[in-house]
């Protein structure tokens, strides 16, 4: 059972299908257009919130929050982690990826992150999860190194990414499902090196955590 909270373009479902054995896949997504696309391309059932997931009695073995946690308001954070604890399987794992923004050293080289409500350092995300009864299995920085970052290069890259995204979005609507899957595989291969480059001062954090049953009993 694989659940993506805020799936974006839905490419995680292609990865899950290629990596897991006959996965049952679900999404939590507010955008109706995205929900329709997930259903059309991947056959995914979508929930509007975690309460709906809980009422359906689904217990997810893998829960993914890829660049969605930073969009949660601080006042909602504790409740979100509590709800995830209710819908995850006893032997399940939560995978989180967020931008690495350590204000002690990154405050002068931040990108356009206005939609983000939360900012995480490696220390703070560990403290947050452990406080709410999660056990850290893996935590490391990932993606490009901050030393290679420049505002000018970032703006250029953002322009081309948006252009490609528009082309892909139009292609998905008119291409047959088999062609969409091939396109998705090609896009994933283009980004694979950066997505699995770990360590040092990089631009994202990737965390794997499980429920710490001993800690939960103490809370």
- The number of helices, as runs of H, and strands, as runs of E, in the chain is 9, 7
- The total of structural domains in the chain comes to 1
Length reported for the chain: 219
Q: Which of 68, 59, 58 is nearest to 6 (CA)?
A: 68
Per residue in 120-145, pLDDT (tens digit) is: 999 999 999 999 999 999 999 988 88
CATH code, domain with 67: 3.40.50.150
pLDDT of residue 23: 93
The DSSP secondary-structure symbol of 28 reads E
State how beta strands 88-99 and 60-66 pair.
Answer: parallel
133: domain range? 2-218
Per residue in 181-206, pLDDT (tens digit) is: 666 666 665 555 567 788 888 889 99
Please give the share of the chain, as a percent, with pLDDT higher than 90: 58
SS3 191: coil
């Amino acid at each position: 059972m694989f659940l993506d909270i805020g799936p974006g373009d839905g490419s995680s479902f292609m990865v899950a299908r290629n990596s897991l054995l006959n996965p049952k896949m679900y999404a939590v997504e507010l955008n109706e257009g995205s929900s329709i696309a997930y259903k059309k391309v991947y056959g995914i059932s979508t929930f509007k919130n975690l309460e709906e997931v809980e009422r359906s009695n689904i217990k997810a073995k893998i829960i993914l929050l890829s660049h969605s946690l930073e969009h949660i308001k601080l006042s909602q954070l504790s409740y979100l982690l509590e709800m995830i604890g209710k819908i995850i399987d006893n032997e399940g794992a939560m995978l989180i990826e967020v931008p690495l923004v350590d204000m002690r050293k990154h405050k002068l080289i931040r990108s356009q992150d206005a939609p983000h409500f939360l900012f995480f350092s490696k220390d703070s995300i560990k403290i947050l999860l452990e406080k709410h009864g999660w056990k850290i299995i893996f935590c490391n920085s990932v993606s490009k190194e901050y030393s290679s970052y420049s505002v000018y290069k970032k703006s250029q890259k953002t322009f081309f990414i948006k252009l490609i995204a528009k082309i892909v979005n139009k292609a998905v609507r008119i291409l047959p499902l088999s062609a969409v899957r091939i396109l998705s595989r090609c896009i994933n291969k283009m980004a694979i090196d950066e997505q699995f480059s770990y360590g040092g001062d990089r631009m994202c954090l990737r965390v794997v955590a499980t429920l710490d049953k001993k800690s939960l009993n103490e809370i």
